[in-house]
Amino acid sequence: MFQTFRNIKRLLFVARTLAAHDALVPHEYAKSAPASLRLVARILSKRNSADAGLPPGVRLAKALELIGPSAIKFGQLLATRPDFIDPEIARGLESLQDRLPPFPESEARALVEVELGRSLDSVFASFSPPVAAASIAQVHEAVTTDDPPLRVAVKILRPGIVDDFARDFEAFRFAARTAERFSAEARRLRAVTLVETLARSVALELDLRMEGSAACELAENMRAEVEFRVPRLDWSRTSAKVLTTEWIDGTPLRDAAALSAAGHDPKHLAVIVMRTFLTQALRDGFFHADLHPGNLFADAEGRACAVDFGIMGRLDSGMRRFMAETLGGFLTRDYMRVAAVHFDAGFVPRHHDVETFAQALRAVGEPIFGRPLRDMSMARLLDQLFATTRRFDMQAQPQLILLQKTMMVVEGVCRQLDAEFDIWETSRPVIERWMVDNLGPEARFRDAAEGLGAMGKLAQNIPQLLRDTELIAAQLADGGLRLHPDSVRAIATTHARRTRHVRVALWIGAGALGVLAYGIIR
């Protein structure tokens, strides 16, 4: 009961703040809102005159900043989910400023000493005031005590941030459960799932070792990409609340003029950024999902450098294949193939007609391909694609939405660097290489060889499998299956040592056993 009271109190504060910025029920959407919600908004509303004339998404962003770090993170997630909220509001949330005043340097120093278990002077020869502060952490520039000393970036979690997020997420869960109980639309949009997705994402961000691990994994995946750089991690100066990486000295990619003045080619950097992002997503299924201009630099050697690995995206093999075949189908304007990919993946229910769906996809693709190169946006294509699939009852796919929103940011970076940037021709080599590597003749032979190997291993086990099945069936007929405890342990030990191919045989044997048992019982 006490927890419920706390949740309601917190949600009332949130509601008042939203209403004050005309973001609880924005006047632009008031006519379509339930009467009860409009009444609540009127009761709570004490509108801020400074918000007059601002778009609803911008007003919402301002309110979320005032509510606190968890609300900012929630807004960032909503910005990646135009399937959940109006796309116009999602675009307004993209401008959400994830910045707060820094906490005192003295607290940062004390936290480093507690986390690393050493005095600050024994770890760092120098330690600057904060150079950047965001909702979850802030960053300090430092120099290590190593020989030779190294210039590093030290990221430190805000004190008390874990407890703050725990409090707010409990309130968000309460609100989502209540909404799904009374609203069919909330159930369709999976409000509880949305909150849990955000909670899991933030839980990873609140353990900076996970961010360090993500940086290491990305560096490992991209080690052969000579034009892309991930900063080295200093594990000896990293903990759950402190992350230390090499300092990246470079020119921000947001400033094309400064890049040119430093001797870099902005157009070539645009190609590097787009191709490395697609390589991460399609080849590796693990991509940097926060590639805004502030996280991208060009070093002295002209390499693109990324920092801040708190938000990463993953695509499983099925999603990668779906994404590559969808983009490849649009590249060749084979809309029937794109439609078939959606149906094969089970994303579009079978009661819809594949030809009609292909016709809808053509309506998405043709207007885009009829535009000048500078106006042909892959992110816009995916945005319209997902809007179309909603009309065909396709459920939201969070992996793909995050990919699409990241691609939108990457496109923006590339077009800042090159106003005539051709995203399709830049992307084509990566997509075609993926298609050849995964769907070409060599891939078919490789898959066939693996399949034959699995069948061969299965065949080797069939005689013993049949003997075991016959014995077990006989015991079932004789009053039930009897296993001595030592036999149970022996089977468990043997099962643990089996390869994945033998486990396939065991499962097939279990199915055969079920059929035999059913026949005996009858």
Q: Give catalytic residue positions.
A: 290
d(CA 479, CA 106): 74
d(CA 48, CA 179): 28
- For strands 286-288 and 304-306, give the pairing: unpaired
Q: Report yes or no: 401 and 83 within 8 Å, Cβ to Cβ.
A: yes
| C-alpha torsion 278→282→285→291, nearest 10 | 10
Q: Which residues contact 476 (CB under 8 A, 6 or more apart)?
A: 516, 517, 520, 521
Supply 193's token pair.
């799932």
Supply 450's token pair.
């693996």
Q: Which of 461, 463, 447 is nearest to 503 (CA)?
A: 461
Taking phi over 0 as left and psi of -120 to 50 as alpha, with beta for the rest, 117 belongs to left
Q: Which residue has the tokens 């009961």?
A: 1
Q: Which residues contact 180 (CB under 8 A, 6 or more apart)?
A: 186, 187, 191, 192
d(CA 81, CA 193): 13
Q: Which neighbouring-strand residues pair with 242?
A: 156
Terminal CA-CA length for the chain: 54
**How many Cβ atoms sit within 10 Å of the Cβ of residue 83?**
21
Q: Which of 68, 62, 80, 76 is nearest to 19 (CA)?
A: 62
Supply 426's token pair.
């830049």
Taking phi over 0 as left and psi of -120 to 50 as alpha, with beta for the rest, 53 belongs to left
**How many Cβ atoms sit within 10 Å of the Cβ of residue 90?**
21
**How many Cβ atoms sit within 10 Å of the Cβ of residue 89?**
24
**How many Cβ atoms sit within 10 Å of the Cβ of residue 248?**
18
Q: 130 φ, ψ to 5°? A: -60, 135
Q: Report yes or no: 266 and 418 within 8 Å, Cβ to Cβ.
A: yes
3-state SS, 14-43, equals HHHHHHHCCCCCCHHHHHHCCHHHHHHHHH
Find the helix or strand (DSSP H, E) in which 302 lies: none
Q: Which of 193, 201, 219 is nearest to 276 (CA)?
A: 219
State the DSSP code for 231: P
